[in-house]
Structure formats: structure tokens, C-alpha cells
């Protein structure tokens, strides 16, 4: 089962609906022991980084996600969920606790003469082939809502970029099967649903771990 | 590049679409969920539901519409009309809407903008501004109560305030052009868009495809909203977007 981590940040129903549409059942939990049983994990999120880190820590959800992801379970961070995969963010610097440290790097704020948040449909520029991006073409549009973006230490972690004032990481991957998408696949119409379907396929057919 | 957005708007009364979509092959042209799904397939970038239900008791039907829509529609959608408290915002958002649009209540209780933005994020809070030209002041007045009350407040000032308070977007309706088919109010749009650093959605007056082009170029709008031209199939969302692309506007096709 694909498990959606409920840590009190944003609405999870749309993500569930998206997977359901593509034929995948999901399970929402706020219990670390349930995450330990997950076959695939979704880390969603809308809101502020600092609050998310705090919420994840309180119930031990962050640790559970981290442990499972390192063991090889497929993980997909969406929007703020992507940002949480990194070490730290400029948002919520007052907190000593940082991100999940699953992908080295940091999260910084958009600067310059730009409307912030970056909100709306923007094009994806795939950089590396990956099963998560199967069927996605250069120039396909996805729906973004964010003011901060991830800067992985190692450029090779970037599977696809997008442009808003500058190129930024729109899809990232860390070893073994840790994925993050900065856009909302559940709100990105057909192209977004394809990503959810691809993730579902990875979880059920592409797993290299034994269960 | 960030694409310009085309947004069909559906008026919903007691859970049913009024001014329904004509000439579209639907089982039930009054069903908001079916229409929303139709527009998603047709290439709409977002949707707006405007709840025009008069009675408070019957407004709860909107929650049901929202959750059913979220099951079938995979683009962002906004709900406006009759939302007055943080709890009501929360109910609409947890049912699956992405944003709420606040109009009269934002004017009468502007702290709700701050509270909503703090609690749910600025991207969730759209402030709808109905503006009408005031020739004497060379400005536009803000109207509330569905355009029935002139507040006397300058629209140019008001949008600056709502941005400071945390609104993520402005849905700007020109009362001078709304209801007509002579085009969006380009002067108003450009003036407002220059005042704020958040996206502005142009509304009111779309009758031809070139009106969309004007709003998104000289009018400096980030998105254009329309109702009847789409519902009555004067042209489709896709046709407008193809026309815009041909004229050099970045759109999602």
C-alpha cells in the first residue's frame, strides 16, 4: 500500500484522489509504526518549512520516513515534501532542527523582480531519464505553488528543472529511491496524474527490496 | 516560463450551476462536478465556483460540491461567495478546494485576510475586488455586496492593503465592463497590476478572443476569467489558448 504521511500540513485528499484515479489505493497515517509497514511513502505538504519540521519531529514521523527511505522504500515528497528531503531551508531558520537530510543541499527563496509565490503552470525540462518521468515530454506543464526552491549539493540529483527567473530543481532524486517533485502532480491534470501512476508502478513493480 | 491562465467561472446556487453550459454534451448540464470535469478535460487551467446561494443554511451544500469536484477534477479550483469565517475557509479547503475567494467579508473584516494567510498560506487566499470608475477622482471605487454598495474606498489603495495583509492573488472584476461583451477593462487591470506584486486575475467583459489577448498583454493580467463565452460555447478554452499562443502569449496547451 502507498502510505501518505499525515503530519498536519495541508490537504491530503487531492493526493489520494489522484492516486485513486490511476488505480492505486492509498492509506493516510500519522503513526510511525504504520510508516514502517509502508511499501511506498508520500510526503505531501503545503505550508511553512519550520512548522513541518516541528510536526514531523513531534510524533517521530520524520524518523520513521527517514529510516524506511534509507532501507529502500520508494518515497515521493510533494512540494514542501520535496523541500523537507534536504538538509535545511532559509524558511524557519529560527529552528535548530533541519530537514530530513535524505538529499544533501538546502532550500532557498526566490529573489529578484518576480511575483512570489511562483504560482501557476510552468514547463518541465527533463534532464535525466527516470521511470518516474516516463511519458513526460520536455515542455509539459505542471502546477506550482512555492516561494522557496531546492538546491541539491550535487547537480546530478536533479532529474528535471523548470524556469522562474532562473532554472531551479523541479524533480530531484536521491539514493536509493527518494524522489521529490516541487509541483503538485495531483493538481497538474493529465501530466501530473501520469507522474502519480509512474510512482505507483515503481512501488509495485520496480521495488528492489524484499517484503 | 510561467503560463498565463484561462479560468472558467461557474455560478452555483444551492448545489446547482445556474447560467448553465449550453451545447455541451453532458448528461446533466446543471451538475457542477460534471461541468468542472468537462473544463478540466477541455484545458482550463483553473476553475472558480461562485456560490450565489442566498440562504445560509443551504450554503452547506457547497461543501458537498467541493468534495465531489475534488474527486474528479485534477486542476486547482477556487470557491468564493458567502465565506465569512476562518472555520468556513477551513471547511472549504479541507473538502478539497485549493483557494477561497473573499470579497465583502475581506472589506468588512480585513483581519480575516491575515488570519487566513497565516493559517493556510497566502496562496489559498484570493481577494475579489469589484471596482467601478470614479471619474471625478480619476480612480476606481471598491464596491461590495455584489456591487450594490459603494464603499468610497480607492481600489488602488485597497489592493495594496490586501497584498500587505497576505492575499495571494487578486480577482479583479470591472463593474463597468462586467455583463457586457466589449472586453475587459484594460486600463483598470494595468493600473491594479502595477500596484501589486501578486497575480491579478482579470474578470468582466470577455466577448471575443482578442479580449483575452488584451487583458493578458496590455492589461498585464496573469490570468483571465470568463463565464458565458465558455458556457455558451462561443469559443472553447482550447480555441482561446491556441489563439493566445499564436499571438505570442505563453499558455499551457
pLDDT digits (tens, 9 = 90+) for A59-88: 899 999 999 999 999 999 999 999 999 999
Task: Confirm whether A122 is domain-assigned.
Answer: yes
Q: Is A42 contained in some domain?
A: yes
Structural domain harbouring A46: 2-205
Mean pLDDT of chain B: 92
| CATH number of A23's domain | 3.40.50.880
Q: Which pLDDT band, with edges at 50, 70 and 90, does B27 fall under?
A: low
Report which secondary-structure segment, H or E, holds B116: helix B111-120
Within-domain flag for A211: no
**Assigned domain for A29 exists:** yes
Q: Does A62 reside within a domain?
A: yes
The pLDDT value recorded for residue A209 is 45
Q: Is residue A210 part of a domain?
A: no
What's the rounded Cα separation, in Å, for the pair B122 and B3? 20
| Total domains, chain A | 1
CA–CA separation, B161 and A199 (whole Å): 43
Q: Which residues contact B56 (CB under 8 A, 6 or more apart)?
A: B82
For residue range B134-169, what is the model confidence (pLDDT) as tens digits? 999 999 999 999 889 999 999 999 999 999 999 999
**Pairwise CB contact (< 8 Å): B121 & A46:** yes
C-alpha cell at B72: 474528479
CA B14 vs CA A64, B7, B51, B145: distances in Å: 45, 22, 8, 19
Q: Which residue in the list B45, B130, B141, B185 is annotated as catalytic?
A: B130
The tens digit of pLDDT for each residue in B47-72 reads 999 998 867 777 788 999 999 999 99
B40 carries an active-site annotation: no
Look at residue A210 in the predicted model and tell me its pLDDT: 40
Reported ipTM: the value is 0.91
B130 belongs to the catalytic site: yes
Residue among B2, B5, B120 minimizing CB distance to A118: B2
Least CB-CB distance to B3: which of A13, A46, A120?
A120
CA geometry: angle at A151 spanning A147 and A156, to 5°? 140
**A142 domain residue, yes or no:** yes
Residue A181 within a domain? yes
Amino acid at each position: 500500500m502507498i502510505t501518505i504521511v499525515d503530519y498536519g500540513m495541508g490537504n491530503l485528499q487531492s493526493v489520494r484522489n489522484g492516486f485513486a484515479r490511476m488505480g492505486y489505493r492509498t492509506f493516510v497515517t500519522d503513526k510511525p509504526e504504520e510508516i514502517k509497514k509502508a511499501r511506498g511513502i508520500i510526503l505531501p505538504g503545503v505550508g511553512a518549512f519550520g512548522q513541518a519540521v516541528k510536526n514531523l519531529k513531534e510524533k517521530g514521523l520524520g524518523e520513521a520516513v527517514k529510516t524506511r527511505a534509507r532501507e529502500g522504500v520508494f518515497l515521493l515528497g510533494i512540494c514542501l515534501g520535496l523541500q523537507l528531503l534536504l538538509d535545511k531551508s532559509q524558511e524557519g531558520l529560527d529552528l535548530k532542527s533541519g530537514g530530513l537530510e535524505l538529499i544533501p543541499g538546502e532550500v532557498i527563496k526566490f529573489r529578484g523582480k518576480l511575483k512570489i509565490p511562483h504560482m501557476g503552470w510552468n514547463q518541465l525540462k527533463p534532464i535525466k531519464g527516470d521511470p518516474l518521468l516516463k511519458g513526460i515530454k520536455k515542455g509539459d506543464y505542471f502546477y506550482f505553488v512555492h516561494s522557496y526552491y531546492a538546491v541539491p549539493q550535487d547537480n546530478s540529483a536533479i532529474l528535471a528543472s523548470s524556469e522562474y527567473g532562473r532554472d531551479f530543481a523541479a524533480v530531484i532524486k536521491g539514493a536509493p529511491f527518494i524522489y521529490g517533485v516541487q509541483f503538485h502532480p495531483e493538481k497538474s491534470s493529465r501530466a501530473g496524474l501520469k507522474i502519480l501512476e509512474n510512482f505507483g508502478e515503481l512501488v509495485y513493480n520496480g521495488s528492489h527490496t524484499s517484503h | 516560463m510561467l503560463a498565463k491562465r484561462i479560468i472558467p467561472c461557474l455560478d452555483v446556487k444551492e448545489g446547482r450551476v445556474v447560467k448553465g453550459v449550453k451545447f455541451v454534451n453532458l448528461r446533466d448540464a446543471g451538475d457542477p462536478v460534471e461541468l468542472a470535469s468537462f473544463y478540466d478535460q477541455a484545458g482550463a487551467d483553473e476553475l472558480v465556483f461562485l456560490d450565489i446561494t442566498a440562504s445560509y443554511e443551504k450554503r452547506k451544500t457547497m461543501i458537498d460540491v467541493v468534495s465531489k469536484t475534488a474527486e474528479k477534477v485534477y486542476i486547482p479550483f477556487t470557491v468564493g461567495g458567502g465565506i465569512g469565517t476562518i472555520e468556513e475557509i477551513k471547511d472549504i479547503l479541507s473538502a478539497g478546494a485549493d483557494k477561497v475567494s473573499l470579497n465583502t467579508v475581506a472589506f468588512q473584516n480585513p483581519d480575516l485576510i491575515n488570519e487566513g494567510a497565516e493559517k493556510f498560506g497566502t496562496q489559498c487566499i484570493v481577494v475579489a475586488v469589484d471596482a467601478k470608475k470614479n471619474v471625478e477622482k480619476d480612480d476606481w471605487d471598491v464596491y461590495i455586496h455584489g456591487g450594490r454598495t459603494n464603499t468610497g474606498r480607492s481600489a488602488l489603495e485597497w489592493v495594496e492593503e490586501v497584498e500587505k495583509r497576505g492575499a495571494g492573488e487578486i480577482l479583479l472584476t470591472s463593474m463597468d465592463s462586467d455583463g457586457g461583451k466589449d472586453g475587459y477593462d484594460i486600463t483598470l487591470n494595468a493600473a491594479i497590476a502595477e500596484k501589486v506584486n501578486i497575480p491579478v486575475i482579470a474578470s468582466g467583459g470577455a466577448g471575443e478572443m482578442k479580449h483575452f489577448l488584451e487583458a493578458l498583454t496590455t492589461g498585464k493580467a496573469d490570468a483571465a476569467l470568463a463565464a458565458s463565452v465558455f458556457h455558451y460555447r462561443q469559443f472553447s478554452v482550447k480555441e482561446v489558448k491556441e489563439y493566445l499562443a499564436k499571438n505570442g502569449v505563453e499558455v499551457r496547451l
